[in-house]
A and B are shown apart, each in its own frame.
Chain A
Amino acid sequence: MKLDAKIPEGDLSEKWSKHKFNVKLVNPANKRKYEVIVVGTGLAGASAAASLAELGYNVKAFCFQDSPRRAHSIAAQGGINASKNYQNDGDSVYRLFYDTIKGGDYRSREANVHRLAEVSGNIIDQCVAQGVPFARDYGGLLDNRSFGGAQVSRTFYARGQTGQQLLLGAYSALSRQVAAGKVKLYTRTEMMDVVIIDGKAQGIITRDLVTGKIESHSAHAVILASGGYGNVFFLSTNAMGSNASAAWRAHKKGALFANPCFTQIHPTCIPVHGTYQSKLTLMSESLRNDGRVWVPKKAGDKRKPNDIPENERDYYLERKYPSFGNLVPRDVASRNAKYVCDEGRGVGETGLAVYLDFSDAIKRDGEDTISAKYGNLFEMYEKITGENPYKVPMKIYPAVHYTMGGLWVDYNLMTSVPGLYALGEANFSDHGANRLGASALMQGLADGYFVVPYTIGDYLSQMPYEKVSNDHAEFQKAETEVRERLNKLLSVNGKKTVDQFHKELGLIIWDYCGMSRTAEGLKEAKEKVQKLREEYWTNLKTIGTQDELNITLEKAYRVADFMELGELMIDDALNRNESCGGHFREEYQTEEGEAKRDDENYSYVAAWEYKGENMQEELHKEELNFENVQLTQRSYK
């Protein structure tokens, strides 16, 4: 298989405009003859579904929650980047492009990232026009804050609930198209497989989560906007239902999976406190605008934080990175938290936490100002921990948050399967080995509002109007396979619950393929995961039937896929003999403990091809060519 990223020729800043001119168009009157399936109604899916419907295409949109408005995007807190330069602080499309490439540790495509920066401003315009209530200053104009990895203020925000407001905007656009009859909505409906006929994605198989009914839907193209796979780790900041099954099914049907080991561990989350814990809660990165991170200078210092005098505290990020201070990128902040905890200087009961302290900011700006910026986050913190962060520093620790890896896509956001697209966190595209804060929302909405509506026309214009019938033999076959797989899960009759397996899997991946990795550890982890997966199919305990609302079966189905994906993450981490961004191999570090890349040998996207049950996947390399930025050791000092 030859990977062609289809990056347009020409100057970086002209590629996208030229490409838009060169793609084939579907005549407005003919758009209604095409049907597109969109799996997922988060920022990426809802924006794509609404925009395609506005253009005239017929859309079917699917989500597993009871309403499109509840997609995991709703939980995003801190903000969304755009190079508007409203603050007049020197921002530009090029600077956003450059920061993103550098932040990703030079493992993403220049052309994609530049396009992202180009459309970022349009996203803000669009959202404001929809009624998204971004924060404003007293003059009534839009306000900005700073996020990690940038020295300009380009982050637009809506208190600590930006994702909610953006998603409700996209949801309203989607709802308008539902009312117009252009989008047909399927809620509490899970995509179980993609159907490929004549080498092209031409439909999906779904399961109605309430009745258990299996159905076939055919279409001219299929878009996956099904989110990331952070829940492989069991404990993460993702919503409980977030899963990788849609992407993984597509992978098993031929779509390459890129850079699976690039996962993001977010530095500021509420620490783990018990084995019953079901998920981890993020405290937005925006808090690092005003909060100062510190630990005691002495190991094992058990005094209360407010009893530790200033000169016995180590503000280690400010000390090590004077120019970025507390706003270093996430991978750097997380790794340093781990280092100080490894040195025995961690705080709290478990010693696996550092302080995030707002007392200076409160002294400087007053409690009201801090509460206006972060009130809802402080409240959330207090609800969970029972401690008041206005009085005592927050305790935070890194947690799994985001996955940069995902389905491989070309410049058009098409996977290696013709007619199958991947948007948002489900694809691997723009963030390289580390995503900068406030850039996922930007990417999801860029993909859905401003990229795929153009690029999909190029493909559809070459398709016949007549779509395949959904009783084509391939649909029948796929339906049968789905039923069989569900039956298999229901008939194992073992002793261990899905959650027990999931927790075990998560621990293996966290310990060996988390914040730091070694070849030796990864090899051990691979064996462990293989064993666990074998046990899964012989000792799993489930209950009930597939013809009813069955929460145990839903989980069992998803965790089976996590097991396989977990193994691929390990393979990928083992293959990449370098450190870059969130992928930190202990063998490859600079003297100061920073990630040490190997540009000569690893400046490529690792795209994996599924080869069959229990077979080693095959690696394909997409070389990354940097024509505009110079690769350097990332420095935030």
Chain B
Amino acid sequence: MSEAKGMNLTLKVWRQKNASDKGKMVTYQVSDISPDMSFLEMFDVLNEDLLQKGEDPITFDHDCREGICGMCSMYINGKPHGPLDGTTTCQLHMRNFKDGDTIYVEPWRAKAFPVLKDLSVDRTSFDRIIQAGGFISINTGNAPDANEIPIPKDIADEAFNAATCIGCGACVAACKNASAMLFTAAKVSQLSMLPQGKAEKKKRVEAMVAQMDEEGFGACTNTGACSAECPKEISLEHIARMNRDYLNAKLTSDNV
């Protein structure tokens, strides 16, 4: 465990001073990395080192370090969140790498996610998609008793699976078209499955899809890369459900 021999690694990391800087890959060496460290702890060690040498530490987003806030977002060796399936960057541990490895680390790349600095990108486009309709319109205090509407367990469970999306954006980073379908579909699907969300079903899907397009996310060509790289393993089923909802809404839409 922690006494195990440390690893020596070569890191090639994207450095970009700010949104208007061109940016480039920079090479760093780290040594004596414990296999029990998380990937971000390895970055902490590197950053301490840089600061001691009077160099600017690498900016990267992170907060919970428990795989739930969706803040961490590194593109590691050509994969969002790195090599391990169903795992966020912060939950990736160094025991998944070998002594002597070279690791490439880049930010998410998508037009709708502009780089702010180094590995940190602006994902407010996701917030705007939710603002367009990712809610059920109920004011505080208006709710009926929680057990008034029983929800069959299988529907509740399926809605739950959709609701586990952490809004990290790996699906967009994984997609060659930088499409946000999986993220958008997860929310649309969660709410349209539940009885509480049915009233606004049509309006919601139209508004959210329109916002997604407006933000500059690409079209979905069904490659499935999003779901394969999603740390929460959100299923492609939700995209299919959203497509059905969308078609249905368009066929019967009042907003033509």
Contacts and interface: CB of A to CB of B under 8 A. Distances in A.
Central interface residue in A86, A165, A241, A383, by most chain B CB within 10 Å: A383
B181 to A, nearest CB: 19
A627 B33 CA distance: 59
Interface in A114-136: 122, 124-131, 133-136
Interface string A147-182: 000000000001101011100100111011011000
Given A131-B194, A273-B2, A544-B56, A383 B93 contact: yes
Contacts of A453: 140
A470 B149 CA distance: 48
B130 A171 contact: yes
B124 A66 contact: yes
A487 B54 CA distance: 17
Contacts of B160: 133, 158-159, 165
B40 interface: yes
A172 to B, nearest CB: 4
Interface size class of B (residues with CB under 8 A): 35 or more
A68 B122 CA distance: 13
Interface stretch (B44-52, B75-83, B222-230, B239-247): B44-52
A277 interface: yes
Interface string A540-572: 010110001101100000000000000000000
A12 interface: no
Nearest to B54: A543
A140 B153 contact: yes
A468 interface: no
A187 interface: yes
Contacts of B217: none
B190 A131 contact: yes
Contacts of B191: 131
Nearest to B70: A70
B131 A175 contact: yes
Given A122-B143, A129-B144, A277 B137 contact: no
A543 B70 CA distance: 28
Contacts of A349: 1-2
Given A65-B71, A72-B64, A130-B135, A125 B143 contact: yes
Tell me which of B87, B145, B149, B197 has the highest count of chain A C-beta atoms within 10 A of its own C-beta. Answer: B145
The CB with the most chain A CB atoms within 10 A, among B45, B139, B142, is that of B139
A66 B123 CA distance: 7
Interface residues of A, number: 80
A345 interface: no
A175 B136 CA distance: 10
Given A66-B122, A131-B197, A239-B63, A386 B147 contact: no
Contacts of A210: 116-117
B156 A136 contact: yes
Given A66-B71, A74-B68, A176-B131, A51 B140 contact: yes
B141 interface: yes
A161 B68 CA distance: 8
B37 A276 contact: yes
B250 interface: no
Contacts of B1: 273, 349
Contacts of B141: 122, 126, 449-450
A67 B123 contact: yes
A164 B164 CA distance: 8
A541 B56 CA distance: 12
A136 B64 contact: no
A164 B153 CA distance: 20
Contacts of A612: none
B156 A541 contact: no
B38 interface: yes
A175 to B, nearest CB: 4
A415 interface: no
Interface string A564-590: 000000000000000000000000000
Nearest to A52: B140
Given A66-B124, A138-B153, A176-B137, A129 B164 contact: no
A65 B69 contact: yes
A45 B174 CA distance: 33
A274 interface: yes
Interface in A209-260: 210, 239-241
A86 to B, nearest CB: 6
B69 A140 contact: no
B140 A172 contact: no
A305 B52 CA distance: 43
A495 B1 CA distance: 32
A13 interface: no
Nearest to B86: A379
Contact of B93 (A133, A158, A386): A386
A69 interface: yes
Interface string A36-60: 0000000000010011001000000
Interface of B: 1-2, 17-18, 34, 36-38, 40-41, 44-45, 48, 51-52, 54-57, 59, 61-71, 86-87, 91, 93, 95, 116-117, 120, 122-124, 126-127, 130-132, 134-147, 149-153, 156, 159-160, 163-164, 166-167, 190-191, 194, 196-197
Given A210-B117, A278-B44, 18 more contacts: A54-B140, A67-B127, A72-B64, A131-B159, A131-B163, A131-B191, A133-B190, A140-B151, A165-B160, A178-B127, A239-B63, A276-B44, A276-B45, A450-B140, A500-B48, A549-B59, A549-B116, A551-B57
